[in-house]
Structure 1
Amino acid sequence: MMELIQLKNITKAYRRQSPDAPALEDINLTIHRGELIAIMGPSGSGKSTLLNILGFMDHPTEGEYLFDAQPLQRISSRHIHRTRNQMVGFVFQHFALLKDYTVQDNVILPLTFRKGKHKDRVAKATHYLEKVGLASHRLKKANELSGGQQQRVAIARALVGEPELILADEPTGNLDRRTGEEIMDLLQQLHHEGRTIIIVTHDDEVAKRCDRIIRLVDGKVLTDQNNYQNQV
């Protein structure tokens, strides 16, 4: 498999922290295209910090991040913003939808930063809403939907820009077990279509459905293992 991401000796320290206890310390990871990865660890282990760095939402204090063979530290902020918009889709635990906007308008949002006609954006949003089973709800307000439906809208929004990478932060954390399983069914389907997906989760059942499990403790990688049970 081709490499999508390389993290080399990544360390992240915040000013309020002791220099002896950074949020992340000496992280070395290679992520290949098409992988489905779970990042696990106790609260405060650095999971969200790592996800923010992977998604260009935060910058490491030390080390090198290569995305699609490009060293991000050596390119402009404008190029980083464009790469994030075009190459990365985000799914959050609390959905992060604009509640007074329609479902369709929420999904279109990532495309508003790109050139193109409105009718083409609507067509693409409709396509991905069909993919998550919500095309018939496209003109409803986001706050009229159930939690599971809102998460499906968030996934459609993550997909609409056709990114290389999907980052999901506790995507089943606010959902009941059955709805969470449906969301994981959808993410696994996207993985089988070739998407690279990284999921931060506390849920062992979610992790079991991933191909690789990375465990963090105190800002360091404790284990990085292939989940052979899921591959059988």
Structure 2
Amino acid sequence: MRGANCRHGAFGAGLVAVVLALSGCGASALEQTEVPTFPTSAETSAAAVAGPDDGVLPDDCARILAVGDLEALLGLPLGSVAQRTTIGVAEPSVGRTERVACVYTGTAGGPARGRTLLNINASAYTDADAAGKQWRINSEAEDGGRREMPIGSASAVLVERRGEAVLMVVHEVSNLTLVLPGQPLPGGRAPADVLVDLALRVLPAVSTVGGTSSASTTTEPPGTVS
């Protein structure tokens, strides 16, 4: 019995030694494993801003129409306009691949004081036929006095109604809608004139030439009003 106890004791001691040895190996392996790290939200945002656009349209309204340009057109002081970008979703049923919405408002300390000054909606489509078809559907759904006008190689419909004027443009695979709420305009300019001026500034950023963004190939607008 005493020998058996000794044998059991020796076996137990050996088992403990094996367990300790395995535990030691496990601890060593864990210590050598590197913990994965993930970028902070600030780093992710910076990378997103720095990266190229995913498609035809810019991902930032500041590159569609700069705040300073709108301030100059509306005769407002520098720093008195704020801009917000909203990225929309694709709509395969109508061939829409991209959508970006831009809202420009007066800052609290400026003369416009939070009033909406301009809305821009830009969309890109799979091809020119899809863009033209959707442009026609959208423009015909608008209420108010309307007239068609060419803007260089682009086609446009101007809709004027109480409280706002709307310019809807199609060029290549892109649609552009500019909504100008009723407001005093410098020099007594007509809303239609200001909208055409805005369109000529915006079209190079959201249109395509040969399937690539025209903003990357030229800074000239597609043409002048006929």
By the TM > 0.5 criterion, same fold? Answer: no
TM-score (norm 2): 0.23
TM-score (norm 1): 0.22
**Larger relative contact order (C-alpha < 8 A, sep ≥ 6)?**
1
Whichever of the two has the greater Rg, that structure is 2
